[in-house]
Amino acid sequence: MNPTAPPDPQDRPARLTVGVVGAGRVGPALAASLALAGHRPVAASGVSDASRRRAAELLPDVPLVTPSEVLARSELVLLTVPDDALPALVEGLAETGAVRPGQLLVHTSGRFGAAVLDPATRAGALPLALHPAMTFTGTAVDVQRLAGCSFGVTAPGELRLAAEALVIEMGGEPEWITEESRPLYHAALALGANHLVTLVAQSMELLRAAGVGAPDRMLGPLLGAALDNALRSGDAALTGPVARGDAGTVAAHIAELRRHAPGAVAGYLAMARTTADRALAQGLLKPELAEDLLGVLAEDDRR
pLDDT in tens, 44-80: 998 888 888 999 999 999 999 999 999 999 999 999 9
User: Domain count of the chain?
Assistant: 2
The answer to whether residue 289 sits within a structural domain is yes
In a shared domain, residues 166 and 204: no
pLDDT of residue 12: 41
Question: Residue 282 is which amino acid?
Answer: Q
In a shared domain, residues 218 and 140: no
In a shared domain, residues 59 and 118: yes
Phi, psi of 146 (to 5 degrees): -70, -20
Where does a domain end: 177, 210, 229?
177
Where does a domain end: 139, 159, 177?
177
| CA neighbor of 45 nearest in space, from 71, 82, 15 | 71
Separation between Cα atoms, residue 77 and residue 83, nearest integer Å:
16
The answer to whether residue 266 sits within a structural domain is yes
Phi, psi of 157 (to 5 degrees): -55, -40
Separation between Cα atoms, residue 264 and residue 271, nearest integer Å:
11
Separation between Cα atoms, residue 193 and residue 196, nearest integer Å:
5
The ranges of the chain with pLDDT < 50 are 1-13
The answer to whether residue 8 sits within a structural domain is no
Separation between Cα atoms, residue 273 and residue 279, nearest integer Å:
10
Separation between Cα atoms, residue 86 and residue 12, nearest integer Å:
32
CB neighbour burial string for 48-82, b if at least 16 within 10 angstroms, e if fewer? eeebeebbbebbeebebbebeebbebbbbbbbbbe
Question: Residue 27 is which amino acid?
Answer: G
In a shared domain, residues 195 and 171: no
pLDDT of residue 1: 40
pLDDT of residue 3: 43
According to DSSP, residue 236 is labeled G
In a shared domain, residues 43 and 93: yes
The answer to whether residue 12 sits within a structural domain is no
The answer to whether residue 7 sits within a structural domain is no
In a shared domain, residues 46 and 142: yes
The answer to whether residue 6 sits within a structural domain is no
Separation between Cα atoms, residue 75 and residue 223, nearest integer Å:
44
In a shared domain, residues 128 and 194: no
In a shared domain, residues 228 and 160: no
In a shared domain, residues 168 and 35: yes
Q: What is the pTM of this model?
A: 0.87
pLDDT tens digit string along 266-298?
999 999 999 999 999 999 999 999 999 999 998
Where does a domain end: 134, 160, 177?
177
In a shared domain, residues 209 and 144: no
According to DSSP, residue 240 is labeled S
Give the ranges where the chain is alpha helix by DSSP (H).
27-36, 49-58, 67-73, 86-95, 118-122, 141-145, 160-169, 182-189, 195-209, 215-233, 241-244, 247-260, 265-281, 287-302
End-to-end CA distance of the chain: 84
Residue 141 near residue 162, CB atoms below 8 Å: no
The answer to whether residue 4 sits within a structural domain is no
pLDDT of residue 302: 59
In a shared domain, residues 118 and 258: no
In a shared domain, residues 147 and 43: yes
Contacts of 236 (CB under 8 A, 6+ apart): 282, 284
The answer to whether residue 2 sits within a structural domain is no
CATH number for the domain spanning 25: value is: 3.40.50.720
Phi, psi of 171 (to 5 degrees): 90, 5
Domain of residue 98: give its range.
17-177
